[in-house]
A and B are shown apart, each in its own frame.
Chain A
Amino acid sequence: MQQFLTQTGSNSSAATSPPASPQPRLRQQQAPRKERDPQNKEKEAPPAAMADEHQDLTRAFAGLGGLGVDETALVSALGRWRRQPEKRAQFRRGFLGFFSASAGAVAGIERCEDEYLLHLQAEFARFKDAAVLWAMHPWERDARWAHHVLHKAHPPQVLVEVACTRAADDLLGARRAYQALYHRSLEEDVAYRVRDANASLLVGLVSAYRYEGACVSEDLATEEAKALAAAVRSAPAAATKLVQNEQVVRVLATRSKPQLRATFRIYMELHGKPLEEDLAAEPCLREAVKCLDSPPKYFSEVISRAFSDDADRQAKAALTRVLVSRADTDMEDIKDAYARQYGAKLADAVAKNTHGHYKDALLAIIGK
């Protein structure tokens, strides 16, 4: 696929193609990469079949919804419309949004939109990403994700996720991997690159080495639930934002997870609603609380968001990230949480919303 994509870029130079003066020939060179065009076939086939094929082909190119690319459909389409450039031309003319006849009118082509190229690139890459990430050491995965987020200035969701849902030794491993890969410590880069109000919380979360034992002090949990409530109450009038509140950062970044869960439980008992609800104004803080309280629930929400219609690039990439990183840890819990929250089996939702090898890979990872 890579080859084809680069060839497209150089379609004007007929270096690799046979003497390409007649335009149909040139298009023939590019066409194998691109879609097939059902419309030519439609001339011969009955309308119902045409519509089906059209649907199939657009799905094959992931032009409309769903993640990944239906490789089998693509291959069969490639075979079906061999040597029929006119059909492909008609298809391009009909496939608005991805091919623009007007933009290419000067050159006599239906120009392929750059956005579509990028979109296609991302969709084809999903399977590759899933496979490569699956093969990597979990610590290296986490380190690379953290680095990517920091250096592309994406929202810090991934950092919160890695810092709060990994076991203490896995977080340490990820920090060591980060140092080996990038010759800086993770805290250094987080502190340096995150310049907004979330900085102190994020540095605290990634630096944590939480106690992993089960002992919980109910008195301490009550005291800290009250402290959190006081912080929430005084937030609107305070000089700094809630996410910068020292008490809040201290509790969330240092207490052990069982202790925090007890604190959240008591908060719910005292105030009748979960802490997350009171943190609606601070998405980073809210995510941290969700991750610390119940990773499976948090992950099933992330997965569901990847399937929604208005999911952006990060939200879609999150699907691979969550499924690959949790395959060996709490996948079963995530499946239960997903079923409870959305009333559908995770495997079914994945099968419905993804295509091709990507789908098969994810279903294999999820297991029965």
Chain B
Amino acid sequence: MATLKVPATVPPVADDCEQLRKAFQGWGTNEALIISILGHRDAAQRRAIRRAYAEAHGEELLRSITDEISGDFERAVILWTLDPAERDAVLANEAARKWQPGNRVLVEIACTRTSAQIFAARQAYHERFKRSLEEDIAAHVTGDFRKLLVPLVSTYRYDGPEVNTRLAHSEAKLLHEKIHHKVYSDDEIIRILTTRSKPQLLATFNHYNDAFGHRINKDLKADPKDEYLKTLRAIIRCFSCPDRYFEKVARQAIAGLGTDENALTRVITTRAEVDLKLIKEVYQKRNSVPLERAVAGDTSGDYESMLLALLGQE
């Protein structure tokens, strides 16, 4: 369930371009105008605006944006304006280059997007960075994480609904055995998590629960500080309950002193057209406070306005 609010009658693309140009011209920038236009257009409309803007003004819209605004607001607007595939490519590139074990962006991209979306992201990555995504991850990530993450992003999962119950049973057993022996980076665990289709994996996790009396994630909590185990748990959560996963990311970004703006921006811009409404519902349930109120309390200025616009506030 998307939260993006697009006006009932969308102005013609040329008008939007004109208005945006006006917003950038002169002293200062009309941020509210930027938010009111870009914050209320879907991916196809934004793409049309970018194309028309480049034709009309000889400059990339994103370039104008980076020239005129800055900080978290800029990052939010840029990420939002990009095509979903490009956005994933940019986020993945950043995650790979500045990788450290606590980074889950690659897991999010690999596990919450459809096969077609992941592939579109990989193609966008080629065009933008002149390298393949797998190449960059393999070059910057080390050890067991590399063993896990490279196949995770390279795989092109079957997207049909078929489930082989016998296989689900046997692979649940296999996972249990490996986890029991604490060989968390075993080839078999990686094989199952990185090649099986989503429905097949969900069946496997369900069977694990049935057969062993508790969820698989419970068995992966042997060492709460271990980042590799956290990554495994994140993979499983992204498959089973993406809305709850993202709610947690948002919650942890907002909670406590300070805010993790990057994480918050990421959740909101990547899910606004997907399932942000569901995430909001989970957030409300879990925190007894609407996500908009929490965001408003923790952020300010144009950045806050942008996020609230994407959250569906008028």
Chain B's closest residue to A217 (CB) is: B131
- C-alpha spacing A37/B162, complex, angstroms: 56
B160 at the interface (CB under 8 A from A): yes
Interface 1/0 per residue, A141-181 and B, CB below 8 Å: 00000000000000000000000000000001001100100
Pick from A172, A184, A188, A199: contact of B187, CB under 8 Å: A199
Interface 1/0 per residue, A246-265 and B, CB below 8 Å: 10001001111000000000
Pick from A172, A192, A213: contact of B191, CB under 8 Å: A192
The segment from A87-95, A102-110, A202-210, A230-238 that touches chain B is A202-210
With A200-B187, A203-B151, A256-B135 in contact, do A211 and B130 touch (Cβ < 8 Å)? Answer: yes
- C-alpha spacing A200/B151, complex, angstroms: 10
- C-alpha spacing A191/B123, complex, angstroms: 24
B139 CB to closest chain A CB, in angstroms?
Answer: 8
A212 at the interface (CB under 8 A from B): yes
Q: Which residues of B contact A184 (CB under 8 A)?
A: 158, 197
A360 CB to closest chain B CB, in angstroms?
Answer: 39
A183 at the interface (CB under 8 A from B): yes
Give residues 265-306 of A contacting B (CB, 8 Å): none
- C-alpha spacing A253/B151, complex, angstroms: 10
Tell me if B134 and A172 are in contact (CB < 8 A).
Answer: no
Count of chain A residues with a beta carbon within 8 Å of a chain B beta carbon? 30
Tell me if B126 and A212 are in contact (CB < 8 A).
Answer: yes
Q: Which residues of B contact A210 (CB under 8 A)?
A: 132, 135
Pick from B131, B151, B156, B195: contact of A256, CB under 8 Å: B131
Give residues 81-114 of B contacting A (CB, 8 Å): none
B122 at the interface (CB under 8 A from A): yes
Tell me if B197 and A254 are in contact (CB < 8 A).
Answer: no
Chain A's closest residue to B133 (CB) is: A209
A239 at the interface (CB under 8 A from B): no
Q: Which residues of B contact A13 (CB under 8 A)?
A: none
A185 at the interface (CB under 8 A from B): yes
Give residues 103-122 of A contacting B (CB, 8 Å): none
Tell me if B157 and A250 are in contact (CB < 8 A).
Answer: no
A270 CB to closest chain B CB, in angstroms?
Answer: 21
Tell me if A207 and B132 are in contact (CB < 8 A).
Answer: no
A273 CB to closest chain B CB, in angstroms?
Answer: 26
Which interface residue of B119, B126, B156, B194 has the most chain A CB atoms within 10 A? Answer: B156
- C-alpha spacing A179/B161, complex, angstroms: 12
B173 at the interface (CB under 8 A from A): no
B237 at the interface (CB under 8 A from A): no
Tell me if B135 and A191 are in contact (CB < 8 A).
Answer: no
Q: Which residues of B contact A204 (CB under 8 A)?
A: 150-151, 154
Q: Which residues of B contact A246 (CB under 8 A)?
A: 146-147
Tell me if A185 and B154 are in contact (CB < 8 A).
Answer: no
Pick from B119, B158, B159: contact of A188, CB under 8 Å: B158
Tell me if A187 and B195 are in contact (CB < 8 A).
Answer: yes
Chain B's closest residue to A247 (CB) is: B138
A263 CB to closest chain B CB, in angstroms?
Answer: 12
Chain B's closest residue to A210 (CB) is: B132
B230 at the interface (CB under 8 A from A): no
- C-alpha spacing A128/B105, complex, angstroms: 51
A75 at the interface (CB under 8 A from B): no
Tell me if B122 and A209 are in contact (CB < 8 A).
Answer: yes
Tell me if B156 and A183 are in contact (CB < 8 A).
Answer: no
B21 at the interface (CB under 8 A from A): no
A15 at the interface (CB under 8 A from B): no
Give residues 42-77 of A contacting B (CB, 8 Å): none
Q: Which residues of A contact B126 (CB under 8 A)?
A: 209, 211-213
- C-alpha spacing A200/B196, complex, angstroms: 16
A136 at the interface (CB under 8 A from B): no
Q: Which residues of A contact B132 (CB under 8 A)?
A: 208-211, 254, 256
Give residues 185-229 of A contacting B (CB, 8 Å): 185-188, 191-192, 199-200, 203-204, 207-213, 215
Q: Which residues of B contact A186 (CB under 8 A)?
A: 156
Pick from A187, A200, A253, A254: contact of B156, CB under 8 Å: A187
Which interface residue of B119, B132, B160, B196 has the most chain A CB atoms within 10 A? Answer: B132
Q: Which residues of A contact B122 (CB under 8 A)?
A: 209
- C-alpha spacing A175/B157, complex, angstroms: 10
Q: Which residues of A contact B196 (CB under 8 A)?
A: 188
Pick from A192, A199, A250: contact of B138, CB under 8 Å: A250
B163 CB to closest chain A CB, in angstroms?
Answer: 11
Give residues 158-182 of B contacting A (CB, 8 Å): 158-160, 162
Chain A's closest residue to B196 (CB) is: A188
Give residues 6-56 of B contacting A (CB, 8 Å): none
Which 4 residue pairs of A and B lie closest in terms of their CB atoms, listed nearest first?
A: A207-B154, A188-B195, A185-B158, A254-B135
